[in-house]
Chains A and B, each alone.
Chain A
Amino acid sequence: MKKIHGIGASKGYAIGKLTLCVNIDDHIQKRSITDIPAELSRLDAAKDAAVEALNAIYMKAIKRVGEANSMIFQIHIMMLQDEDYFNTIQDAIKNEKVNAEYAVWQAGRQFSEMFSQMEDEYMRGRAADVLDISKRLIRNLDKTLANGLDCLTDRSIVGAVDLMPSETVQMDKNLVLAFVTREGSKSSHSAILARTMGIPAVVGLADGYSELTDGISIIVDGAAGDVILEPDEQTLAQYREKQQEFASYQHELALLKGTKAVTKNGTVIEINANIGHPEDVSMVLENDADGIGLFRSEFLYMESSNFPSEEDQFQAYKKVLEKMGGKRVIIRTLDLGADKQVPYLDIPHEENPAMGYRAIRICLDRQELFITQLRALIRASAFGKLAIMFPMIISVEEVKKIKEIVEKVKKDLTEENIAFAPDFELGIMIETPASVILSDLLAKEVDFFSIGTNDLTQYTLAVDRMNHTISKMFDSRHPAVLRMIEKTAESAKNAGIWVGICGESAADTAMTEFYVKIGISELSVTPSMVLELRKAVQQIEL
């Protein structure tokens, strides 16, 4: 028995036989050929089969992950049919007299290199697509290189160096118990798809991956990121029990879809989800959240090489609001600086960025940026139930200034005859001790508070979130933090506004009862925690 450790990318347990996918890189052989026409017709047949398979995957993907996520397979088909790409392969066969597999692999590498050298991040991402289609061609040429996924007959756990999105989405949930990979991160595309599809996964096993051999029995713990090789009877029994508990728990949670988070004495709590990208909305809906309690707008800035335009932002916000169909969506304005930097913002090096030029401080200083975002947000308000939230507030003056700018933007939009909702809510994040101490005054200025417990803990305790040496001292249940939360709730109650929590400790079910007792009416957590939290609320007797 041996245990290796990676990143838990999709929770759940699996026990079974490991099927290792062949790593094409190690198996492509260069051979000289004599019959060029025969080699070319092998290539044509492989291409036809690939196009046919991709069409089938496309249809399957639409049903599983929706139209937008499936478009990539249409692109794959067009890439396969690209003249330049295909001519490069044919030329290699004709001129260098090499086998088709080798020619395809060379062309695939050449074209993916071209993409990976491009400036645009989106284009660099296409390098993986070129490799994906090249592998598909090669597997059609040489069946011994066929991916474990294509020829799975028994239920098993799939091991691979890395999984392409096309491979993940094709996985038959009845056959693939879990997957483990050497590469990948929690936010890689395959990890996200695994979570959406509910397949347990451990990624980023790094060197530990080389311990795996085809056919051995393994245990995958997708929450802890553990992979146990050739487990003994005792361990097996232990994990079988965990697996059963998890399954019945998941089943129990699924039954809560469509119910509300109401305590036994009738207090209703809104359980919302935190998202960082418009694509996460499918997870929000899948987990039946009441709304979105924190939509971090940073992705727009981090994914682009320059300031995102008003139109780009508007489209992204609109999309989320429309998909949420009238459920509340709280969008937080730009929270860059500190640990989240983008080069074009050009913030000079700071000794102490957590207390530096960040979030609302940048917005109020560089108002053109702020106004662009506000215009996009307010325009989007016409398409759903929008609330806007401002981070890192430390004074009443800041809030007054923000409201002034918001009014100005509304006036401009009215003059330009652009529609927006008249009644969207404005709120602030409570994440600095200053905002807690002033919460009675701040409450008179806004429609709601949302407590950001991560920063509030860091600033209250003077414990740097990023400093590993003192990470044990970072305690969001510290009495000082709880008093901060209590004081905030009291101020909100006195002013008649609502208050929620969107930091990580909102998901701490041991704290739920305390939060509900002091008058917190909204909790916003990662989508996969929504049902668990709903269950916790339903068990509370006040």
Chain B
Amino acid sequence: MQTFQHIIKDEVGLHARPAGMLVKLASSCSSDISITFESKKVSAKKLFAVMGLCAKRNDEITITVEGENEEADCLQIKEFCEQNL
């Protein structure tokens, strides 16, 4: 299991567009990917669930990646977060 924390920098937070991009990427990975925020844990492959977290700028989210390809998938997700979130 791979896990990392990320502080949201995007001015609108984890809203439709960034959430959509994240979900798209997560769905292309074979690992199980989840996001934890304020005691809620949801699948990163589900748009409504991710948007439902209501994570805003400066909030810290925890991303967990689990599966055969977890290392490579985690790297990809991490890179995406740093560039887009």
**A82 near B17: Cβ-Cβ < 8 Å:** no
Q: How far is the CA of A309 from the CA of B8 in the complex (A)?
A: 14
Q: A74, B11: Cβ atoms under 8 Å?
A: no
B11: which of A81, A119, A120, A315 is its contact (CB, 8 Å)? A315
Most buried by B among A82, A120, A129, A311: A82
In the complex, what distance in Å separates the CA atom of A521 from the CA atom of B73?
Answer: 61
How far is it, in angstroms, between the C-alpha of A492 and the C-alpha of B70 when the chains are bound? 69
Which residue in A72, A79, A122, A312 is a CB contact (below 8 Å) of B48?
A79
Interface of A is mostly: helix
A110 to B47, CA, bound (A): 15
The contact of A83 among B12, B17, B45, by CB within 8 Å, is B45
Scoring A residues 153 to 171 as 1 if CB is less than 8 Å from chain B, else 0, what string do you get?
A: 0000000000000000000
Cross-interface CB contact of B16 among A81, A83, A85, A126, cutoff 8 Å: A126
Interface residue ranges of A101-132 to B (CB < 8 Å): 111, 114-115, 118-120, 122-123, 126, 129
Q: Chain A residues with Cβ under 8 A from B52's Cβ?
A: 114, 118
Q: Which residue in A82, A118, A120, A122 is a CB contact (below 8 Å) of B47?
A: A82
Q: List A residues 43-78 near B (Cβ within 8 Å).
A: 71-72, 74-75, 78
Q: Which of A307-365 contact B (CB under 8 A)?
A: 309, 311-312, 315
A78 touches B47 (CB 8 A): yes
Q: Is A84 close to B, CB under 8 A?
A: yes
B51 touches A74 (CB 8 A): no
Q: Is the CB of B46 within 8 A of A122?
A: no
CB-CB nearest 5 A-B residue pairs:
A82-B47, A78-B20, A75-B16, A78-B47, A82-B48
For B45, what are the chain A residues with a Cβ–Cβ distance below 8 Å? Answer: 83
Q: In the bound complex, do residue B12 and residue A74 qualify as a contact, i.e. CB atoms below 8 Å apart?
A: no
* Complex contact B20–A123 (CB within 8 A): no
Tell me the B residues contacting A by CB distance below 8 Å: 11-12, 15-17, 20, 23-24, 43, 45-49, 51-52, 54, 56-57
**A475-499 interface bits toward B, Cβ cutoff 8 Å, 1 = contact, 0 = none:** 0000000000000000000000000
Give the residue name and chain of the B residue nearest to A68 (CB). Answer: B17
Task: Give 7 A-B pairs besides A71-B17, A75-B20, A315-B11 with Cβ atoms closer than 8 angstroms.
Answer: A75-B17, A78-B23, A78-B47, A114-B48, A122-B12, A123-B15, A126-B51
Whether B11 lies near A82 (C-beta < 8 A) is no
Residue in A74, A75, A79, A118 whose beta carbon sits within 8 Å of that of B54 in the complex:
A118
B51 interface neighbour in A72, A83, A123, Cβ under 8 Å: A123
Q: Once bound together, how far apart are the Cα atoms of A477 and B85, in whole Å?
A: 52
- Once A78-B24, A85-B48 are accepted as A-B contacts, the answer to whether A311 and B17 lie under 8 Å apart by CB is no
A118 / chain B contacts, CB cutoff of 8 Å: 52, 54
Whether A120 contacts B46 by the Cβ 8 Å rule is no
- Report the separation of the CA atoms of residues A129 and B47 in the bound assembly, to the nearest whole angstrom: 13
Bound-state Cα–Cα, A119 to B47, Å: 18
In angstroms, Cα B14 to Cα A14, docked, is 43
Which residues of chain A have C-beta atoms less than 8 A from B11's C-beta? 309, 311-312, 315
**What is the bound-complex CA distance between A78 and B57, given in angstroms?**
22
- What separation, in Å, do the CA atoms of A333 and B40 have in the docked complex? 39
Complex Cα distance A123/B52, Å? 8
Contact A119–B20 (Cβ < 8 Å): no
Is the CB–CB distance between B54 and A83 below 8 Å? Answer: no
In the bound complex, residues from chain B placing their C-beta under 8 Å from that of A122 are 12, 15
Instruction: Report A-chain residues with C-beta under 8 Å of the C-beta of B17.
Output: 71, 74-75
The reply to whether A119 and B46 contact each other, CB–CB distance below 8 Å, is no
Chain A residues with CB under 8 Å of B49's CB are 84
Instruction: List, sorted by A's number, 9 A–B pairs whose CB atoms are closer than 8 Å.
Output: A78-B47, A79-B47, A79-B48, A81-B47, A82-B23, A82-B46, A114-B52, A115-B51, A118-B54
* A316 (CB) vs chain B CBs: closest residue: B11
Cβ distance A114 to chain B, nearest Cβ, rounded Å: 7
A119:B48 contact, CB within 8 angstroms: no
- CB B44 to nearest CB in A, in angstroms, measures 11
- Closest B residue by C-beta to A82: B47
A120 to B11, CA, bound (A): 14
